[in-house]
Amino acid sequence: MPLEQLRQLQDERLRNLVARLYKDVPFYQQKLKQAGIEPGDIKGVADLAKLPITTKEDLRQNYPFQMFAKPMGDVRRIHASSGTTGKPTVVGYTEHDLNIFDEVVARSMVAAGARPGMRLHNAYGYGLFTGGLGMHGGATRLGMAVIPVSGGMTDRQLMILQDFEPEVMCCTPSYAQTLAAECRKRGIDPAALKVKYGILGAEPWTEAIRTEVEAGLQIKATNIYGLSEIIGPGVSQEDVDERGTGSYVWEDHFYPEILDKDTGEVLPYGEEGVLVFTTLTKEAFPLLRYSTNDICSLHYDPNGKRTHIKMSAIKGRADDMLIIRGVNLFYTQVEEVINTLDYLVPHYRLIVTKKEAMDQVAVEVEVKEGVDHQNEAFKTELAQKIKNTIGLSMKIDLRAHGSIPGSQGGKLSRILDER
């Protein structure tokens, strides 16, 4: 859709959304009144900055259903995502919302290379997590045959990949690493598998992991991004022919903004900050300027196939950012450095400790198969590179190939904070 037309659509949808929220959600009516805003004041997305931000804390205070904008009789599904503390975040969908969910995931699948008639090996977890059922619905809408494997049980995953011959697979990037490593270990030739495309997301990953899983599974791997609060997977998706240039945000449904992490000011395209979404079309659980806490930037790509805006890969979550001796650190920055050294693989974790009030970071990282992990020169080189690019001295612990525990199917935590 031409950009001008897209803006008109977004404006119209936003006006409608604000009117609905004012009428149907007491939380928003109160918030808008406090901000001195009447629904009629909002003419379109250019006015978004006048509207208040919604945070995870707001959802927590309205647990479990108080932010729903439709009576339970209209709700057809409920998902929940667990956070680091306490109660989960609960989200609901009407039939109309489930339709949007299917639609945006189907679009994402096509961008990733999938086509009707192909088989999908779906290794995202089924259950309250939006990954399994979300991908399932989108693939069904597209006309694929879904194999609902769910996460874990690696033996069975490998059997299905070999025997059911899916052309497309989806799972977390860390689990794709596990599957690639297992293939290598068991002498399964990835070229003999039929799988061509991998749709990976639900956690941050970088080019280092892409290189590894594309070689290890003989696939083209693209990024899928999303969060339960906004819909689930399928908020944005990378195109298979434009890998590494960002993921298209389906902005006819989810309008993105980037805000300064400290001041909350809207930042121009290209600048990095906190990603915020307004759901333009959802009925049961619509959100106004919801702060995802994810750090990235937005840009329009004049060379892209589509007109929609792109978001860069997520660097990390604002609340996951480590502050080490005053330096801000996302673990993906260490992953980027690992990627520049050809004797390492991106199987790693960061261990954070405190020694006499000083924060210390140790990097445990595996060497490639056949490389000596006791090589002192390699250790020194990695420490130097981290110091030069990130500005922090870290203790380096090179590990033998295959010795660091990987993902068993779900999201992998790469930080062990022992402080």
Question: Where in 280-309 is the site for ligand DLL (CB under 6 A)?
Answer: 292, 294
Alpha-carbon distance of 385 to 388, in angstroms, equals 5
81/333 with CB nearer ligand DLL: 81
Closest CA to 234 of 94, 140, 107, 133: 107
Query: Using CB under 6 A, which of the segments 122-130, 266-274, 369-377, 397-405 binds ligand DLL?
Result: 122-130
Binding to ligand DLL (CB under 6 A) within 19-58 occurs at none
Dist CA 46 CA 341 (whole Å): 45
- How far apart CA 346 and CA 338 sit, in angstroms, is 6
Residue 139: both structure tokens together = 């693939």
Q: Check residue 228 for interaction with ligand DLL (CB under 6 A).
A: yes
Size of the site for ligand DLL (CB under 6 A): 21
Q: Is residue 273 a contact residue for ligand DLL (CB under 6 A)?
A: no
Q: Verify binding: residue 345, ligand DLL, rule CB under 6 A.
A: no
Among 92, 190, 216, 233, binds ligand DLL (CB under 6 A): 233
Contact 250, 234 (CB under 8 A): yes
Give the distance between the most distant pair of CA atoms in the chain: 68
Please tell me the distance from the alpha carbon of residue 314 to that of residue 305, in angstroms, as a whole number.
Answer: 22
Site for ligand DLL in 77-96 (CB under 6 A): 81
204 binds ligand DLL (CB under 6 A): yes
18, 109, 118, 131: residue in contact with ligand DLL (rule CB under 6 A): 131
Which of 69, 227, 309, 365 forms a contact with ligand DLL (CB under 6 A)?
Answer: 227
CB of 36 to ligand DLL, least distance (A): 31
Q: 283 exposed, middle or buried (CB, 10 Å; 0-12, 13-18, 19+)? A: buried
Nearer to ligand DLL, 92 or 204 (CB): 204
Instruction: Based on the shown chain and the rule CB under 6 A, indicate whether residue 197 belongs to the binding site for ligand DLL.
Output: no
Which part of the chain contacts ligand DLL (CB under 6 A), choosing from 96-104, 199-207, 353-361, 378-386? 199-207
User: What SS3 class is residue 39?
Assistant: helix
Torsions phi, psi for 79 (to 5 deg): -120, 165
Residue 251 C-beta: closest distance to ligand DLL, Å: 17
Query: Coil, strand or helix: which one is 319?
Result: helix
One-letter amino acid for residue 398 of the chain: L
CB of 67 to ligand DLL, least distance (A): 15
- Compute the least distance from the CB of residue 3 to ligand DLL, in Å: 25
Span 314-343, contacts to ligand DLL by CB under 6 A: 314, 317
Which stretch of DSSP H or E encloses residue 185?
A: helix 173-186
Reading the block at residue 187, the tokens are 């002498």
**Beta pairing class for 197-201 and 316-317:** unpaired
Kindly tell me which residue out of 92, 138, 198, 201 binds ligand DLL, with binding defined by CB under 6 A.
201
Closest CA to 56 of 320, 290, 273: 290
Which residue minimizes CB distance to ligand DLL?
A: 201
**What are the residues binding ligand DLL (CB under 6 A)?**
81, 124, 129-131, 201-204, 223-228, 232-233, 292, 294, 314, 317
